[in-house]
Amino acid sequence: MSTLETTGVVAGYSRVNVLHDISLKVPTRGIVGLLGPNGAGKTTLVKTISGLVRCREGAIHLDGRPIHRLRAEEIVDLGTIHVPQGRLLFPDLTVDENLEMGAYRAAARPRLEERGAYVRGLFPILASRGRARAGVLSGGEQQMLALGRALMACPSFLILDEPSLGLAPRVVEEIFEVITRINHEGVTILLAEQNARLALGVARQCYVLQNGRIAIQGTSAELLQDEQVRRSYLGIR
């Protein structure tokens, strides 16, 4: 179980800051939504938390421990697993090989068979496509594989970047059912999602990013009930 907290985070690329004074908290066993349009800074923020983008100012703590100066692989070793936008699978490896690659953490390797059975139970299609190359899978199957690969690592804190992007509604529903299930089983989740309806349906707390800053925050119920928020930030009428 993990609690994540960022305080005054500033980050970006080259000489340009994309994030400005980002402070948020993801409680243990919670699901927190990170909302906003393309270009708002969602992906930069989750990459900064994962150690893929350097935190220039501020701090990031996991269970009270500062992680903003750790390398990405050190953050992974603490149980923080990031499912990136675009999936980033190994297209020439099979489904089974991609899943096995997910169990690279020292804590996960002894549980390879157990976790493999667990993931294939969540996504039966992966069991039937085990010998297929990841590159020939449909978009929905690839997203299931990306999430399954992350679960092979035995995460305590899971970061999901746009898991619904480009998928058919039926597949999205199945994936979000799995997200809800693994949260109920104890995994803390930060969900970066452009589809506000989806995120508000599963998250207890949400932060809305705009131009690299937190524009508004609150519980999902509060955001859904605020007409100005619905129109201005969430695109819901």
Range of the domain at 222: 1-79+156-167+184-237
Q: What is the Cα–Cα distance from 117 to 104, expressed in whole angstroms?
A: 16
What pLDDT does residue 37 have?
A: 84
Q: How many domains does the chain have?
A: 2
110 part of a folded domain: yes
151 part of a folded domain: yes
Q: Please list the rounded mean pLDDT of every run of 10 residues in the chain (237 residues).
A: 91 95 96 91 97 97 96 95 89 94 86 93 93 92 94 95 90 93 96 89 93 93 82 67
The backbone torsions φ and ψ at residue 59, rounded to the nearest 5 degrees and listed phi first, read -145, 155
